[in-house]
Structure 1
């Protein structure tokens, strides 16, 4: 056998790789850190599925992606060869929108969601779940108890959770059950005392505070601006607890294959907590925080615009966030036409309304645009999206198509004419196809089948030349990226049938929305979102290739392993 001298061999391989347009190979005998091979490797490069046989990782980056033979030729004495055993390798999933900070507190809250997410399908079952949770944590009189996931739309007809029900079950404890939209809660009398709610108090502009029929006594449900007094004071892990809580929260994301997460409405205390965790090397995934409008001014004083857009120990301040309206399932989204079922408090001719004064939103957008900061604008109803378009036109000045990466979060009931406007203005729609399954039946009842069938129109956005992303808004629904892909491909209702079959997309397009398109949304397309030389080795191993299984089987695919910068951060038990 002819043996090539080591130096000559290295020079030969380096030249061959250079001619192929790839990065040079390591010349040390130790070799690269990892070679991954032995299964389908979907690169997410290009508009059609493309595969390589092997990937070589070194220094946390991808240094080669191509044939198995070329990859194995780089193997050194210290190289670990990871065999996929037929499983699929993809770039790590990128979360286009969620509320990462909630993952730190989730373990201390009781899941009262409806099936399949949680155990409760009526008020009695919600109370039972709360009582079980209280017993598990040995709740003492006077201590706060929080639940999450309440959805009145899933309750038997006419039944709702109320202050009275919670008072009877918990007379000595403040109790709050956070609405599935995360835009409100049902609270009992002790919680009202804790958070400053009183019978007879006025309803703030942009808020909902339900009353007992015929009185000014509070029923228990508070939403939007009416929820802010409670939301601002929700407990979070203290400084002694936050490191462990942050790790537990990140593992929820890592177990879903997510290597970059968003904190989508960051207050000053939240940002300070994330900065403490990051400074103590507590982040194992990348987290991108978006200061919320209510605290933006104070955050900018301690974090000037020049500090935005840069990672510091895996934490980046991405830009600014504003919420224009509420949620369609909570009947607080802002539409141009009335809800078919009235308002959340029985209001007639109810179209929803802005959740924050419009002049304040305009001022924030101007501040952010003037400082070249990305803006995320939450808008669900078509009236809210009209306002987003008008505000962008006003604040963008002469160049409405400048590359700002302005993003409409949720953007669910966007109209075809608004999609065309987005294409002209280069506004990114971050859609939410999980709604088709979790809340689609509710939308049909509230908005009618025609408008509801166009909810989160991924196909129309793609056809218009846009690069839509698709998110979970966790923890409105679980952080489950394969479920998100499944909903985009199938658009199945919880009750059966399909909602908007013409807006179904391919599995590959659905994966683009949580990989390369999401990287683009964050201005990170040069370093993330696909498997290519020079990009970070953020990777996920799946039990099967989503583009190769039957569409209905996508949600059953499992995350086997998640790697961040080439290192395993999650492995399936």
Structure 2
């Protein structure tokens, strides 16, 4: 069958055009074409090994009845004709750059897929001669790039869905909010829309007071001017801080006599006990938990919205970090409805979800059930350096208003509380993913993890440290000894450079902020994740920020290491390196088609690379407007 640049048979093309017509299509459940269970059905058990195909197509067996002569009536007793033999492969990709990330075969010219698996990788002439037969789709990449599907190491899929539809409060160049007045206008405009009417409250995401003209936090009085009847909340770009209006504070029961919970703070007006609306850390999370909950249908829609964002950015495996008990129930429902199009791994919030986790029959650590699986449990030990809520061993350059010059942030938990959380996780055999940014919090992480590992020994625990903004060299050595990997958000440096350098850390510590280079040099695995300030995951933004830094060039990493940090390495962290993360025989056909080869693209141009199509287990789950990839079944 002749090949063509992203052209398919009429039936497949019609489906592709429906997918390519709008990226929103990938965000909503659709009727699935009939397919063999082994090809497209969600996995509940490990996929079987691939059986080698025969050396050549098997000829159809001869029938005993002779073919009728022209004009002669057909013999009603003749057996039906034999069906044609199945194709040797369903799809062959060729004529483009293929990045395998397989050290045994780092580059290739063609890839063949059968069912959900990759069955051959190699030279085009060999693959076509050996694996092409009647029924095989040959996809001409037309010079584009095929790479492994991206694997999330740490994220919040459903929160991405929520924040993507909230009022966008980012400052230039990401957004258009340059001052408090513009922020309030965005909220008022959003409050007129259908989403605000259905939700019953008003939410904005991504503000950063250090990038506003007034250089101050918005207050509850500012938000009261948007609405006094509905709760109004704006979430900081760090995700660790928010501002609430008077109604939201009232619903949360926060007033003059409220005491800030451990690991959090309640802002007060100067010289008064009255809350000013600014909440940090656990105080912010507590308020969110006390607000009116969205209907389940709306929250399911947020999962679908987040899923669509991940798919159109090339991710075939996503993570929901710090999942609550409600999140577990919602994801269980999504799995049972069969609406998950990519694999989702859950890190359940240990403090709030342990009991629900033990009673779950759907979310387990061994197997996917309808594309849902447990990765482990998570908790948080401090805030972030840019909001001056990370717990440091040395004081901040400038303390926040009302704080002493010795102010160095604060812990999210006592040493005893942190030790109990680690012990509970290890006693239950759960992998841990812990958020800690300040070096004092990282010391607490190392102590608690080491004690739990000694008390509950086990193999291949794969603990994960998320954030690690002010990680020291001596701590890197200890992390390596404990088998810890790092999930880093390199874009945070560029987004918060001025406040980090001028207010929080000073020039020297800022140059070492998020030390990916030092960690890699000492053999600690590094994964790149998207920043909480971004409404959607942007893998090439993370790559660009890790490859070329604004300050601290010694902490940059190479392009190949960066690409592995969103594919092969997080797959290993999640225990799925035998199935994902590289293009190799026997692995799942989780693939992404890119407009350009990131290994050949300058760092300042990486953000221009577009995802043309995303393939999950041989089935197209996203097709962009520039063409697509085949709908194989």
Q: Tell me the TM-score normalized by structure 1.
A: 0.90
The reply to whether residue 489 of structure 1 matches residue 550 of structure 2 is: no
Rounded to whole Å, the distance in 1 between the matches of 2:455 and 2:231 is 52
Q: Is the 8 A contact 1:99 1:473 kept in 2?
A: no
Deviation sequence 1:37-76 (CA, Å, 0-9, x none): 11000001129x9210011111111111111112212112
Tell me the equivalent position of 1:79: 136
Counterpart mapping for 1:27-42 below 5 A = 28-42=85-99
Rounded to whole Å, the distance in 2 between the matches of 1:265 and 1:511 is 25
Q: Is the 8 A contact 2:160 2:536 kept in 1?
A: no
Rounded to whole Å, the distance in 1 between the matches of 2:195 and 2:338 is 32
The reply to whether residue 24 of structure 1 matches residue 52 of structure 2 is: yes
Counterpart mapping for 1:263-342 below 5 A = 263-303=320-360, 307-342=364-399
Counterpart mapping for 1:82-231 below 5 A = 82-137=139-194, 143-231=200-288
Residues 23 and 438 (structure 1), Cα distance of their counterparts in 2 relative to 1, 3 Å cut = farther
Q: Secondary structure of the residue that 1:297 maps to in structure 2?
A: helix
- Cα distance, 1:477 vs. partner? 6.1
Residues 476 and 207 (structure 1), Cα distance of their counterparts in 2 relative to 1, 3 Å cut = farther
Residue 598 (structure 2) aligned to one of 546, 563, 569: 546
Rounded to whole Å, the distance in 2 between the matches of 1:557 and 1:400 is 45
Residue 120 (structure 2) aligned to one of 57, 64, 67: 64
Q: Is the 8 A contact 2:362 2:369 kept in 1?
A: no
- Cα distance, 1:521 vs. partner? 1.0
Q: Is the 8 A contact 1:541 1:562 kept in 2?
A: yes
Tell me the equivalent position of 2:525: 467
Residues 236 and 45 (structure 1), Cα distance of their counterparts in 2 relative to 1, 3 Å cut = farther
The number of residue pairs the alignment matches comes to 546
Q: Secondary structure of the residue that 1:177 maps to in structure 2?
A: strand
Deviation sequence 1:319-374 (CA, Å, 0-9, x none): 11010111112211111011112136545421111113432322121122122211
Tell me the equivalent position of 1:453: 511
- Cα distance, 1:227 vs. partner? 1.3
Tell me the equivalent position of 2:111: 55
Q: Is the 8 A contact 1:149 1:180 kept in 2?
A: yes
Q: Secondary structure of the residue that 2:600 maps to in structure 1?
A: coil
Deviation sequence 1:496-530 (CA, Å, 0-9, x none): xx211111111111001001111011111111000
Rounded to whole Å, the distance in 1 between the matches of 2:90 and 2:436 is 45
- Cα distance, 1:210 vs. partner? 0.8
Deviation sequence 1:288-322 (CA, Å, 0-9, x none): 11110222332233138993242111111111101
Q: Is the 8 A contact 2:159 2:302 kept in 1?
A: no
Rounded to whole Å, the distance in 2 between the matches of 1:473 and 1:299 is 29
Q: Secondary structure of the residue that 1:311 maps to in structure 2?
A: coil
Residue 422 (structure 1) aligned to one of 479, 492, 513: 479
The reply to whether residue 434 of structure 1 matches residue 491 of structure 2 is: yes
Q: Is the 8 A contact 2:163 2:535 kept in 1?
A: no
Rounded to whole Å, the distance in 1 between the matches of 2:615 and 2:363 is 30
Q: Is the 8 A contact 2:485 2:525 kept in 1?
A: yes
Residues 140 and 482 (structure 1), Cα distance of their counterparts in 2 relative to 1, 3 Å cut = closer
Q: Is the 8 A contact 1:30 1:78 kept in 2?
A: yes
Q: Tell me the TM-score normalized by structure 2.
A: 0.82
Q: Is the 8 A contact 2:321 2:347 kept in 1?
A: yes
- Cα distance, 1:415 vs. partner? 0.5
Rounded to whole Å, the distance in 1 between the matches of 2:215 and 2:385 is 19
Residues 551 and 356 (structure 1), Cα distance of their counterparts in 2 relative to 1, 3 Å cut = same
- Cα distance, 1:80 vs. partner? 1.2
Residues 237 and 71 (structure 1), Cα distance of their counterparts in 2 relative to 1, 3 Å cut = farther
Residues 399 and 373 (structure 1), Cα distance of their counterparts in 2 relative to 1, 3 Å cut = closer
- Cα distance, 1:29 vs. partner? 4.2
Q: Is the 8 A contact 1:489 1:510 kept in 2?
A: yes
Deviation sequence 1:231-252 (CA, Å, 0-9, x none): 2245665333444443222110
In the alignment, structure 2 segments of 5+ residues that lack a partner are 1-48, 58-84, 626-633
The reply to whether residue 479 of structure 1 matches residue 537 of structure 2 is: yes
Q: Is the 8 A contact 2:381 2:413 kept in 1?
A: yes
Cα RMSD after superposing both structures: 2.3
The reply to whether residue 232 of structure 1 matches residue 289 of structure 2 is: yes
Residues 193 and 534 (structure 1), Cα distance of their counterparts in 2 relative to 1, 3 Å cut = same
- Cα distance, 1:158 vs. partner? 3.5
Q: Give the structure with higher Rg (CA).
A: 2
Deviation sequence 1:251-276 (CA, Å, 0-9, x none): 10111111111101011001100110
In the alignment, structure 1 segments of 5+ residues that lack a partner are 1-20, 492-497
- Cα distance, 1:440 vs. partner? 2.4
Rounded to whole Å, the distance in 1 between the matches of 2:328 and 2:121 is 37
- Cα distance, 1:463 vs. partner? 1.1
Q: Secondary structure of the residue that 2:283 maps to in structure 1?
A: coil
Tell me the equivalent position of 1:9: none
Rounded to whole Å, the distance in 2 between the matches of 1:174 and 1:128 is 16
